[in-house]
Each structure stands twice: as C-alpha cells, then as structure tokens.
Amino acid sequence: MTDKNSDISSGKNSDKKSAQHKKRMQNLKDKVDQRIDNAQEERGLLIVITGNGKGKSTSGFGTIARAVGHGLNAAVVQYIKGTWACGERALLENAGVSFDVMATGFTWNTQDKEQDIAAAQKVWQRSKELLKDTNVDVILFDELTYMLSYKYIDLDEVIHALQNRPVNQHVIITGRACHRAIIDLADTVSEVQSVKHAFDNGIKAQKGIDW
C-alpha cells in the first residue's frame, strides 16, 4: 500500500509540475506574441557591433550572408584591414556582394598618417555613394569606428550620411570603441567582450578561423 500511495503521490506531483510548466510557457508565449504584435514598423536598421572581443567582423559578415541568402543586394566596405586574404570576401564576391577595401592594413604597419587619411577618405567617398543608393539593401562598414576615433573621417559627416540614407537600407558598423553619437543613433547595439583569446597565449591567427 505504501508503494502504491507513493506512486499516486508522485504522479500527482508530476501532473502539478507539468501544469505549472505549461502555464509558465503560455504566459511567456503571450508576452512574446504581444511584443511581436506591437513591432509593426518596417525600416532600415542601423546595427553596431563593438567591444574588445573577437567576432565583430565575423558577425557583420554573417548578417551580410544572411541578407544575400534572402535575395537582398549587399555591399561591404572594409576600413583598416585589407592586406590579408579575406575568406568572407572570396565567398561573398561570388554571390554578387561588392567590396571596397581601404587596403592599407593596420595603422601601425603603414606608420604614415597622411597616407592613411587619404586612403580612408577615398573609401569614405565610396561609402557615401552606397548610402545614397536605393538599390543597395544592406551595407557593412567593417572597422569604421577606428576612422572616427583617429579623426580620419568627420563624425558629423558620417552621422548626416547615415540619417539621410534610403529609408529601408540597413547598415552594420563594426569596430572597437564606437563613438557614443553612433551608438545613440543606432537601433541595435551589441558589445563583444573578450574573456580569453588564443593570440594572448602565443597561438598564431588561424586560416579560416581568424581570417
């Protein structure tokens, strides 16, 4: 009798927990459904991916790949980087994504401020053209934040171009130390933090993983 009563009690507890779980999940679903119902505005987003951790550019390229997969027209402008082979570029150019690359490498490599400013300005002029092009659905400005930190490109000019782009055009900006004015303007901001990095332990950058 004891075992039978125990089984009955256990069954009741299990039913009670199942009912409680179902109720919690229903409440959660109701809240999510309400948020979905409330989010009816459609327009281009400004997305910022910043922070000191690895993966900012990778995230940006992932969004570009997703957009292309849905048939959107995408473009990439790369600041700072450009002297290394780029696996994403090799893949995405074949999918019709246009690339404009500053191609000076890192500033500590060139050690020539005037050359870097000239290269940044040249690529920025192309960026402004893209920000006026209604045929471009998504743009990735990879490492643009550095250009603002170094004052190679005027902040007010960047903000004006972003604010006056086609209404349905999406823009992704990556890089460390994003300026507060850009963060305030953005619709979505993600900060990637570094917990550990292989390079700090003497492990070289790996092809297909780091570049």
What's the pLDDT tens digit per position in 68-87?
Answer: 999 999 999 999 865 667 88
Looking at residue 25, its pLDDT comes to 80
Average pLDDT over residues 169-184: 98
- Residue 22 reports pLDDT greater than 90: no
Q: Which residues pair with 149 in a beta bridge?
A: none
Looking at residue 108, its pLDDT comes to 47
- Higher-pLDDT residue of 9 and 101 is 101
Half-sphere exposure of residue 158: CA atoms within 13 angstroms, side-chain side: 27
- Residue 59 reports pLDDT greater than 90: yes
Average pLDDT over residues 107-127: 83
Average pLDDT over residues 183-199: 92
Looking at residue 5, its pLDDT comes to 61
Instruction: Spell out the CATH class of 46-201.
Output: alpha beta
Q: What is the pLDDT of residues 35-52, one digit of tens each?
A: 766 767 789 999 999 999
pLDDT band at 147 (very low <50, low <70, confident <90, very high): very high
Percent of the chain residues topping a pLDDT of 70: 86
If one counts every other C-beta atom within 10 angstroms of the C-beta of residue 172, the result is 28
